[in-house]
Structure 1
Amino acid sequence: MYIYLNGKIVQKEKAVISPFDHGYLYGLGLFETFRVYEGHPFLLDDHLERLNHSLEVLNMNVSYSREEILRALRPLLAKNHLTDAYIRVNVSAGIGEIGLQSDPYLHPNLIIFAKPLPPAMNRQEKKAVILTLNRNTPEGVERLKSHHFLNNILAKREIGDMPDCEGIFLTKEGFLAEGIVSNLFWLKENVLYTPAIETGILNGVTRKFIMKLAQRKGIAVEEGLYYVADAKKADEVFITNSIQEIVPISLFDESEMPGNNGSFVQDLQKQYKNLSGYLWSRNEW
């Protein structure tokens, strides 16, 4: 496997960064994950929009354009002989002295990982399990897709190695939040519901895209504070992220759901597949 590291494509075994990188010392790092479909990085502009905003928040003096990432991504895909791939773009703060830094980080490290994926839309449904571990609050004003992943790791340990399950976080107040690596949606009487950003969830790129898909179909979308009982009354439940795409839920906290048989999810999956080969942003469609 080859990775991209600060302008060079290197074997993963030969990739090195300094132990003084504040991404390592203090968790000052960000990442975006997305899929490449037959060479096209789906919704890349949306991922970069979130990444560049988060870089400003973390005081990293850099931003990335579509053209810059493509100049790195295309030879990386070719070197790994990939046309369909899982991509992780990772930016860490770079070298600093031991101690907290308030000055901007001028030389962040950019690493891009690419690995093969099975074909999209494998139609795997999952069971949703309510976690006993609460969702932690964001470190700042909003949750960033950052290196601070302990809450997610502990949640994954709680449910164990169960690929057919997703753990669902609640806030300390008992409101539905999100999955360990996903955003949560449910449909009830032609209204699509999803927990509000105020619950501390990550505002997922796929989350925003699904909300736009639903609105274009004439489906009302409501964000708010909801309890487990609200979702258990749903007609359909599903979770989303940029790698797994749209995953229907067959069992939500022991309540049976349509899973793969849900007509709304089936329609969303079809639209998603049709758009994944060329769309750069939800805003251009």
Structure 2
Amino acid sequence: MLIYLNGQMVEKEAALISPFDHGFLYGLGLFETFRVYDGHPFLLDDHLERLNYGLSVLNIKYRFYREETNNILQALLEKNNFTNAYIRLNVSAGSGDIGLQTEPFMEPNLIIFPKELPPAGELFEKRASLLKLKRNTPEGEGRLKSHHFMNNLLAKREIGPSPEQEGIFLTADGYLAEGIVSNIFWIKDKELHTPALCTGILNGITRQFVMELAGKMGLSVKEGLYTLEQALDADEMFVTNSIQEIVPIFSFEGHKLPGKKGHWVQRFHQDYRDFCQRLWTRNGLRRD
């Protein structure tokens, strides 16, 4: 398989970066994951906007643009003969001396990893349970999609390897936060609920898309500080991320839910299918 590394297409086994890269030494790096559907990188503009914001926070002097990035993606897909793919776009700070650097990083390492996926299809449901491990607080003002993934890794070890299980974090104050690699939503009486960003969660791109989509579907959207008891009163529940899309929950802490049979979950899934091959940004929903 070929990956993109600093302007070149290279075999994955031949990809090399310096051990002095501060992404390796200090976790100073960011990434975005998203899907390509029949050649279209869904919500690419939104992913690049979040990535560019994070780069400015970390003082990494690089900026991504749609046309340039999409040209690279299309070449990489063609080289690998992929039509539908998982993409990880990774930026690490680049090389520097040992020690914490305050000066800007001018030569980051840019890597794009593709992985072939089958065409998106049926809903895949999961059970969810609370994690004993609490969600850590962001390192800075807000949570970036950064290389700092120890909290997520330890949570995954706690919950185990089953793809049918999702672990849900609570904050240190006992409020619902997010899944290990997902955002959580539930519906009650035509209101879509999700934890607020002040809980320290990642503002997922699919999270933002679903909230926009809910408005078009006639659901009111509520963000807040929620307890487990409030979520267990839900009519339906699901989690989201850019690779797994909309994932219905059929059981949460042993409480039965409709899962993939839920009316609203099915509507979200169908609308996702309608838009995933053509939208560059969630803002396109407002013009559709």
Q: Distance in 2 between matches of 1:120 and 1:202?
A: 24
Question: Which TM-score applies when normalising by structure 1?
Answer: 0.99
Write the letter of the residue equivalent to 2:280. W
Mapping of residues 229-244 of structure 1, within 5 Å: 229-244=229-244
Q: Distance in 2 between matches of 1:256 and 1:228?
A: 14
Q: Which runs of 5+ in 1 are unaligned?
A: none
1:178 aligns with 2:178: yes
- Secondary structure (helix, strand or coil) at the match of 1:264 reads helix
Write the letter of the residue equivalent to 1:69. T
Between 68-77 and 230-239, report the one with greater CA deviation: 68-77
Write the letter of the residue equivalent to 1:257. L
Moved over 4 A (4+): none
- Secondary structure (helix, strand or coil) at the match of 2:283 reads helix
Map of 2:152 onto structure 1? 152
Deviations 1:95-148 (A, max 9, x none): 100000000000111000001112213311000110000000000000000000
Q: Distance in 1 between matches of 2:178 and 2:249?
A: 13
State the shift of 1:284 in Å: 2.0
Q: Distance in 2 between matches of 1:263 and 1:206?
A: 19
Q: Is the 8 A contact 2:123 2:269 kept in 1?
A: no
State the shift of 1:79 in Å: 1.0
Write the letter of the residue equivalent to 2:247. V
Q: Distance in 2 between matches of 1:166 and 1:69?
A: 32
Deviations 1:40-88 (A, max 9, x none): 0000000000000000000001110001211211111011110100000
Q: Which runs of 5+ in 2 are unaligned?
A: none
Deviations 1:254-276 (A, max 9, x none): 10000010000000000000000
Map of 1:257 onto structure 2? 257
Q: Distance in 2 between matches of 1:121 and 1:113?
A: 23
Mapping of residues 203-222 of structure 1, within 5 Å: 203-222=203-222
Q: Distance in 2 between matches of 1:269 and 1:111?
A: 31
Q: Distance in 2 between matches of 1:118 and 1:186?
A: 28
- Secondary structure (helix, strand or coil) at the match of 2:174 reads coil
Q: Distance in 2 between matches of 1:121 and 1:263?
A: 17
Write the letter of the residue equivalent to 1:258. P
Map of 1:190 onto structure 2? 190
Deviations 1:216-249 (A, max 9, x none): 1221100000011111000000000000000000
Map of 1:283 onto structure 2? 283
Map of 2:137 onto structure 1? 137
Q: Is the 8 A contact 1:175 1:227 kept in 2?
A: yes
Write the letter of the residue equivalent to 1:27. G
- Secondary structure (helix, strand or coil) at the match of 1:282 reads coil
Write the letter of the residue equivalent to 1:82. F
Q: Distance in 2 between matches of 1:131 and 1:175?
A: 12
Q: Distance in 1 between matches of 2:59 and 2:122?
A: 39
Q: Is the 8 A contact 1:85 1:116 kept in 2?
A: yes
State the shift of 1:151 in Å: 0.1
Map of 2:128 onto structure 1? 128
Q: Distance in 2 between matches of 1:121 and 1:129?
A: 25
- Secondary structure (helix, strand or coil) at the match of 2:181 reads coil
State the shift of 1:39 in Å: 0.2
Deviations 1:139-176 (A, max 9, x none): 00000000000000000000111110100000011100
Map of 1:116 onto structure 2? 116
Question: Which TM-score applies when normalising by structure 2?
Answer: 0.98
State the superposition RMSD in angstroms: 0.6
Q: Distance in 1 between matches of 2:219 and 2:264?
A: 10
Q: Distance in 2 between matches of 1:68 and 1:25?
A: 29
Write the letter of the residue equivalent to 1:281. T
Deviations 1:181-232 (A, max 9, x none): 0000000000000000000100000000000000112211000000111110
Q: Distance in 1 between matches of 2:16 and 2:224?
A: 44
Identical residues among aligned pairs (%) = 62
Q: Distance in 2 between matches of 1:264 and 1:15?
A: 44
